[in-house]
Amino acid sequence: MSLIRLENVSLTRQGKTLLSNLNWTVEKGQTWAILGLNGAGKSTLLRLLTADFFPSEGQAEILGYSFGNGDITGLRKQIGIVSSFITERLPKHMTAEKIVLTGKYKSSILYKAYGDKELQEAKDMLISLGAGELIGRQYHGLSQGEKQICLIARSLMEDPDIIILDEATVGLDLFAREKLLRQIDRITSLPHAPLVLYV
C-alpha cells in the first residue's frame, strides 16, 4: 500500500490555483525532500497532506484515508509535524522531557495527569535520538538546534506513520545543522520508523 497517493490533484482557493495537476506516490521505507522557493506551494502541499485542505480536483489518499470518501478524522493523529509555529505555542519554562511529553497528547500543554512511566517514555525518546543530555534542562535555555531535536522527539511520541520536518534546520549554523541531520537520520532506524518528509 502506498502511504501517499496523489493523482491529478489540483487545489484552488478564492479563485487562485495553488497546486496544479500534481501526481505523487510515496511508498513505505522511503524518505523524501520537498524543495521549492517561497510561494512554490510547499506549505499548501503540507496542509493537503494533513487534511487542512481538500483537493479541488483529482484523487488524494494518505495512509489509506481517501479524501471525499469517508471519515478522515483519524489521519492527523498519524502524522507528526515539526514546524516553527509549534515552537511559539510551547511553555518556555518546561524541561525538555516535558516538552517531548506534550506530543503524546497533541497539545502544547500537559493538560492530562501523567506519571513516571510517561515521563520516562519522553526521556527514552530523547535518548534514542542521541539527545539524552537535554533531560532536566529548561526549554528556554536550549540552543536552536537543541529545541529542534526536542520538537522532533515530541513529534515521535505517538508513533506516527509520517513525520513532516518543515524547515527544521532554519537558523542553525553549519555544525548545529550537521548534528541535527545526523540525529534526524536516526529516525529511520527506529523500530517503527515513520516516513520522513523533509521540507
Question: Alpha-carbon distance 126 to 120, whole Å?
Answer: 10
Name the percent of the chain lying above pLDDT 70.
98
Beta strand extents in 84-194 (DSSP E only): 162-165
Pick the residue with more confidence: 63 or 87?
63
pLDDT digits (tens, 9 = 90+) for 129-168: 889 999 999 999 998 889 989 999 999 988 899 999 888 8
For residue 128, is pLDDT > 70? yes
For residue 111, is pLDDT > 70? no
Question: Alpha-carbon distance 87 to 188, whole Å?
Answer: 24
Question: Alpha-carbon distance 166 to 42, whole Å?
Answer: 9
- For the chain, domains (ranges, CATH) are 4-74 (no CATH), 78-198 (3.40.50.300)
Mean pLDDT, to the nearest integer, of 93-111?
84
- Provide the grid cell at 175: 555544525
